[in-house]
A and B are shown apart, each in its own frame.
Chain A
Amino acid sequence: MAIPKAERLMNLALCLRGSGRPLTKRELRTTIEAYLEVSGEDAFNRMFERDKDDLRELGMVIETVESVDGEIAYVARPGSNRLPPITLDVAEAAALGLAARVWQQARLAGAASGALQKLRAAGMPEADGDRDSGSVLEPRIPGGDAAFEPLMIACRERRPVTFPYRKSTAARPETRQVEPWALECWHGHWYLAGWDRDRGARRVFRLSRIMGRVTSRAGAFTAPVPDRVEVREAVAAWAGETALGRARIRLRADRGYPLRARAHEVRRIDDEWDELEIPHGHGLGAWLAEFGPDVVVLDPPDLRADVVDRLRAVAKG
């Protein structure tokens, strides 16, 4: 039966962390059973490189040194691998436990539980089981976008990427070359902010519109990375949540609750109609058209024309 990968990684980790001295590749090859079973140097070398990468992903710092007889050797020194002392109380432990559960993205969900386990091993107390959990609130961070993981790593390592991107109004995707800065989740969707090389400008991309593989490119960033990346502001403005002015409308009584909820002012005109002053932002015309005969736009004229135009298109059938 093949030796489980977890056993192989565990053995390599214990050797590198516990040996107290650098171990040569040959020593590791001849003492870890899973490596003994590999036939062929190429196969072993590939496996060994992957394994070191996996352990680094788990947080290990593995140093490469040259041994006395000129061989390459590896060691994970205690000083650079140890979790610094951290003391958390029961309430803090419980709060982190709740926070760790919000990820639905598999890699980060695993990483969050892994972090808690390390903290537990470092002495983090357990939340009292009988404590009123009170966690009636269950926030969730969505996963599921295939582009998330490669982009997260590219942002972290500052690596340029390319991906096929379909704008919301385009039929076919187009290849975009981007220097990725940051990812942000807002209203349940993931967005990427970065420098669009072809357009020579900063852009925000919605991950669900990335239609294929995210590919890393060689080379460094060409544009400076801003200290603060404003993803949410850009998306909010586009979604019409940033008011650019005000609009005046007539609204049928008892209708259009969301319009009333954000109105600056509501005035009763007669038994049938109210007059409202509402914030005017991107996309308001489309939204007002939804209310059909229950809304009449009074001002500004371009908004009025936009709504009339939309209604005419529908009225034609």
Chain B
Amino acid sequence: MASNAIDRTRRMLSLVTYLRDRPGARVEEVARAFGVSEETLISDLRLLPMCGISYRGGDLLDIDTDGEQIWWHNADAVSGGAREPLRLAADEATALLVAARAVAALPGLREGDREALLTATAKLEAAAGETARASSRLTVTFESEGEVFADVDRALAERRRLRLRYYSPGRDAVSEREVDPIRMVVVGHTYLEAWCRRSEARRTFRLDRIAGLEVLDTRADPPALEPRDLSAGLVQPAPDDPEVVVEVGPAGRWVAEYYQPESTEELVDGGLRITLRTADPAGLRRLALRLGRDGRIVSPPELAESAVTAAREALAAYE
């Protein structure tokens, strides 16, 4: 893939500068410093001896490794500007500065970390010069529901159990449970991933739905779990969850964006027939009520019926 060649070239350019100052550098340490696996580093080290300023008659980089240490026998083969670290590219300055500003603005961040980020950002801006301006075209705001954040953060740091009063929109009710925190994740909203003692399962709690919490003296004891891959989104419906079919008009098409439908089918009036799976179909009564004339639940029939009943009951209060 082309982008791999780009990343690899960028890495090798920095490696050349880095290794020049460190004869006998350890593979393990260099891999860690560059944020790559030892395998990746070794494959870079295999390629570097093919590179050099060959117009002068074969001054290729004489770099080799025994898998433990790295030796460069002719560090002078690299001359002039190629010895020096390369300036930051627009993408690089953007990626680092935008991320640093976003993280620094997280309300729950520890003060020491925020301080370090802010000074690092200022130094980076100075070093990137004109290039830093590209980063003003991108902004990222993390929502980190400030009030409960500090307590959750403390529970994580001190490995203590939490008692949560947690709001479930599906049931429109607040319930109490004890959880052992695992980590906090910010994807749009801030979430706590924790082991729920009541359901004996891993659960994700949105911080802005925590109605109250208490840090307990009990030590948190979550089972050792593989971290979940959240790149596909936090809510991942299971294939055996019940199926719900919703038909919406053009104004209800947002439903297909908000949920992760299993399938969608265009309707002649510009609407959609949406099939989705959810562990808690009863919670979709809210959706039916919200949609009004913009859509309706087709199945399961009990769910459609419960929305009709709820609407009739609600109307009674206005008559």
Q: Given A183-B138, A314-B308, decide whether A102 and B85 contact each other with a Cβ distance below 8 A.
A: no
- Residue of B with least CB distance to A185: B140
Residues of chain B within 8 A (CB-CB) of A257 are 167, 172, 174, 209, 211
Which residues, 110 to 131 on A, are CB-close (under 8 Å) to B? 110-122, 126, 129
Is A57 within 8 A of B89, CB to CB? Answer: yes
Q: Smallest Cβ distance from B312 to chain A, in angstroms?
A: 5
Which residues, 129 to 148 on B, are CB-close (under 8 Å) to A? 129, 131, 134, 136-144
Give Cα distance in the complex from A91 to B314, angstroms: 57
Is A115 within 8 A of B96, CB to CB? Answer: yes
Which residues, 182 to 216 on A, are CB-close (under 8 Å) to B? 182-189, 208-209
Q: Does any Cβ of A come within 8 Å of B52's Cβ?
A: yes
Residues of chain A within 8 A (CB-CB) of B265 are none
B32 touches which of A14, A103, A126, A138 (Cβ 8 Å): A126
B91 touches which of A17, A102, A107, A126 (Cβ 8 Å): A107
A292 touches which of B12, B35, B289 (Cβ 8 Å): B289
Of B63-71, B113-121, B195-203, B239-247, the one contacting chain A is B113-121
Is A11 within 8 A of B51, CB to CB? Answer: yes
Give Cα distance in the complex from A253 to B269, angstroms: 41
Is A6 within 8 A of B311, CB to CB? Answer: no
Q: Does any Cβ of B come within 8 Å of A37's Cβ?
A: no
Q: Smallest Cβ distance from B45 to chain A, in angstroms?
A: 13
Which residues, 67 to 95 on A, are CB-close (under 8 Å) to B? 76-78, 80-89, 91-95
0 or 1 for each of A41-83: is its CB under 8 Å from B? (1 = yes): 0000000000000111111110000000000000011101111
Q: Smallest Cβ distance from B159 to chain A, in angstroms?
A: 10
Is B102 within 8 A of A139, CB to CB? Answer: yes
Is B139 within 8 A of A231, CB to CB? Answer: yes
- Residue of B with least CB distance to A250: B317
Q: Given A116-B35, A296-B318, decide whether A54 and B9 contact each other with a Cβ distance below 8 A.
A: yes
Q: Smallest Cβ distance from B226 to chain A, in angstroms?
A: 15
Q: Smallest Cβ distance from A163 to chain B, in angstroms?
A: 17
Is A292 within 8 A of B5, CB to CB? Answer: no
Q: Given A18-B53, A92-B119, decide whether A82 and B87 contact each other with a Cβ distance below 8 A.
A: yes
- Residue of B with least CB distance to A316: B308
Give Cα distance in the complex from A110 to B298, angstroms: 45
Is B80 within 8 A of A17, CB to CB? Answer: yes
B90 touches which of A11, A156, A304 (Cβ 8 Å): A156
B86 touches which of A58, A85, A138, A258 (Cβ 8 Å): A58
0 or 1 for each of B189-210: is its CB under 8 Å from A? (1 = yes): 1000000000000000000010
Residues of chain A within 8 A (CB-CB) of B13 are 10, 13, 58
A59 touches which of B54, B92, B157, B186 (Cβ 8 Å): B92
Q: Does any Cβ of B come within 8 Å of A218's Cβ?
A: no
Q: Smallest Cβ distance from A141 to chain B, in angstroms?
A: 5
A137 touches which of B184, B308, B317 (Cβ 8 Å): B184
Q: Smallest Cβ distance from B128 to chain A, in angstroms?
A: 9
Give Cα distance in the complex from A86 to B84, angstroms: 13
Give Cα distance in the complex from A106 to B316, angstroms: 54
Residues of chain A within 8 A (CB-CB) of B289 are 289-292, 310-311, 314
Q: Smallest Cβ distance from A206 to chain B, in angstroms?
A: 9
Q: Does any Cβ of B come within 8 Å of A175's Cβ?
A: no
Q: Which interface class (under 10, 10 to 19, 20 to 34, 35 or more) fits A?
A: 35 or more
Q: Which interface class (under 10, 10 to 19, 20 to 34, 35 or more) fits B?
A: 35 or more
Q: Does any Cβ of B come within 8 Å of A271's Cβ?
A: no
Residues of chain A within 8 A (CB-CB) of B55 are 15, 19, 23, 27-28, 30-32
Q: Most B CB atoms within 10 A — which of A58, A87, A134, A231? A: A58
Residues of chain B within 8 A (CB-CB) of A220 are none
Is B47 within 8 A of A120, CB to CB? Answer: no
Is B89 within 8 A of A58, CB to CB? Answer: yes
Is B78 within 8 A of A169, CB to CB? Answer: no
Q: Does any Cβ of B come within 8 Å of A232's Cβ?
A: yes
B117 touches which of A80, A96, A142 (Cβ 8 Å): A96
Give Cα distance in the complex from A3 to B50, angstroms: 10
Residues of chain B within 8 A (CB-CB) of A266 are none
Give Cα distance in the complex from A139 to B187, angstroms: 6
Q: Most B CB atoms within 10 A — which of A77, A92, A137, A152? A: A137
Residues of chain A within 8 A (CB-CB) of B93 are 115
B142 touches which of A91, A107, A112, A139 (Cβ 8 Å): A139
Q: Does any Cβ of A come within 8 Å of B238's Cβ?
A: no
Q: Most B CB atoms within 10 A — which of A4, A118, A294? A: A118
- 13 A-B residue contacts at CB 8 Å? A10-B48, A14-B51, A58-B89, A83-B84, A91-B112, A99-B102, A107-B91, A115-B95, A120-B34, A139-B106, A182-B136, A209-B257, A313-B292
